[in-house]
Amino acid sequence: MKSKLTCTFLSLATLLFSQNTPPTISNVALVLGANNHLIIQYDLADEEGDAVEIAFRATGQGGLLFDYETSNATGDFGPNIAPGAGKQIQWDFSAYAGAQSDFRIMLVASDNQPLDIQALVDQVDSTRLKDDLTFIEGVRHRTAGVAHLEAVKDFIEMRFQESNLETYRQEFNYGSYLAANIIGRMIGTESEGTVYIHDGHFDTVSNAPGADDNGSAVAGVLEALRILAPYASKKTIKFIGFDLEETGLTGSARYVQSGILPGETIAGVVNHEMIGYYTEVPNTQELPGGFEIIFPDVVNALAADEFRGNFITNVGGGFSSSLANSFAAAAAQYVPDLKVVTLQPSFLIPDLSRSDHASFWQANIPAIMLTDGAEFRNHNYHTPNDKVETINFTFMQNVVKATVATLAELAGVQHSTSWWGETAFFTAADEALECGLHVSPNPVRGEIQLFWGDCLHGIFDVSLSDTNGKVVFDKKLDSGKASSFQIDAQPFAPGLYFLQVKSGQKKWLEKIVVE
């Protein structure tokens, strides 16, 4: 949080028997056929053997909205598609052939069963939260802890990639430091231009390991992602790690200024800001000056409980009131053990504007802050004592549960899954490419083709790692000797891999699926 100075078994059984598994799409191949036809081959699985409804959508390469006309497609899509291998869709894209550009394709598989949000919520795992926070803990400051700061950035980015999000960095300079917001886009399947954001900043002040501030938030965002990512949602959910919150909300302000994509409407932001400190000891919850005047009913309720620090504060008034009410209602329904204190100020209060939600407030975008209260409860705030051993993981787990329920309801998470990918039909090795790394095809069954633009000069490093971090390919390349390179993927086991290319201060990370 920004300093004021810088302004058991039974539950598992219930889960297994109360909600079946959504259908899945795998082994997708995008093939260029004759006469401007795209052939989409895929396998369809459903553990219960139910008939599945398949939706097929398309847009241009890198497109935000799937707005291409696909009603002329034929084959295995629509309702009542039987599970099995070798499914095929053919699409005549003649209406878009003149652009000679590639396509982004989405397939959605639904068994039209209701989603059991309670079963979803119950998957939130306190052990995973602790494991992630144990890694994240440590000074993450642009001058005092750069190495660990960069490691945490990479960690967040890798987790986004593993969850099949459209992942990228919004980079900008802050003095000599290259700052980066880490963004993962879980693309909506119906109203993808409508976006809900779940965020937490990952930086710390220079002297604190930042377990609560704000490693607890980052771990919470990653756990919410783990629960939600296997499902499709009608609306888009963006998971964001913000940089430089401690310098005055710099990262989130930059995102609001230039990171919201044309065609996106941000419907709401759920900002985690310190969600791990909890105590039942009386008189441990302090309050900012003037709260007894602004929120007399809240203060009276806290006094009746002897000012115990045993609740999460849910901050969002005015145009954010509906979002705050949605969180409070979801917590009451799905996580009754979580005590929520909702504050809905009718005017700007500095002590309630000290985190990244305030950047969205400034742009009239609905946003809430979920917080344990920072230094008004946790006296380890901004000190070397802000460590994992001070965190209450049951409390933290409950906050994440309520967040998952809120996002599932608002974004329209469905009992379905989705797949998206891009073709590489019109990208040739000798084509003048923009500065950066280009990978084709993906998914791959034979060779991975790498192309690079004019910004790669001299020697650069190429490595390929599996999801366990094991490096399966590592080589230095010379851009002066070739403009492309091929990696034989046949020796690699099928699965998800991460391709990393380093050239000087530049770095690219690409997700590769080997089939």
What are the structural domain ranges in the chain?
20-114, 117-277+312-411, 437-514
User: Would you state the pLDDT for residue 469?
Assistant: 72
User: Would you state the pLDDT for residue 470?
Assistant: 82
Report the C-alpha gap between 214 and 220 in whole angstroms: 10
Residue 142 has φ and ψ, to the nearest 5°, of -65, -20
User: Would you state the pLDDT for residue 2?
Assistant: 53
Sequential pLDDT tens for the chain (515 residues):
654 433 333 344 344 444 689 999 999 999 888 899 999 999 999 999 999 999 999 999 889 999 999 999 999 999 999 999 999 999 999 999 876 678 999 999 999 999 999 999 999 999 999 999 999 999 999 999 999 999 999 999 999 999 999 999 999 999 999 999 999 999 999 999 999 999 999 999 999 999 999 999 999 999 999 999 999 999 999 999 999 999 999 999 999 999 999 999 999 999 999 999 999 999 999 999 999 999 999 999 999 999 999 999 999 999 999 999 999 999 999 999 999 999 998 887 899 999 999 999 999 999 999 999 999 999 999 999 999 999 999 999 999 999 999 999 999 999 999 999 998 887 543 344 455 667 777 777 777 877 765 555 677 788 888 877 788 998 888 766 566 778 888 888 888 888 888 776 667 777 788 87
Tokens of 51: 């008939």
> Architecture of 437-514 per CATH?
Sandwich (2.60)
Q: Are 255 and 199 in contact (CB under 8 A)?
A: no
Tokens of 428: 């040739």
Q: Please tell me the class of the 20-114 domain.
A: mainly beta
Report the C-alpha gap between 468 and 381 in whole angstroms: 34
Alpha helices (H) along 229-381: 250-258, 291-294, 296-304, 321-334, 357-362
User: Would you state the pLDDT for residue 6?
Assistant: 37
Distance of CA 188 to the CA centre of its chain: 13
CB proximity list for 44: less than 8 A, separation 6 or greater: 23, 24, 25, 52, 54, 76, 81, 82, 83, 84, 85, 87, 109
Q: Are 460 and 475 in contact (CB under 8 A)?
A: no
SS3 breakdown of the chain: % helix, strand, coil, rounded to 5? 30, 35, 40
User: Would you state the pLDDT for residue 104?
Assistant: 95
C-alpha closest to that of 197 among 145, 118, 251? 251
User: Would you state the pLDDT for residue 110?
Assistant: 98
437-514: same fold as 20-114? yes
Residue 319 has φ and ψ, to the nearest 5°, of -70, -5
> Architecture of 117-277+312-411 per CATH?
3-Layer(aba) Sandwich (3.40)
User: Would you state the pLDDT for residue 5?
Assistant: 38
Query: Element (H or E) spanning 346, and its range?
Result: none
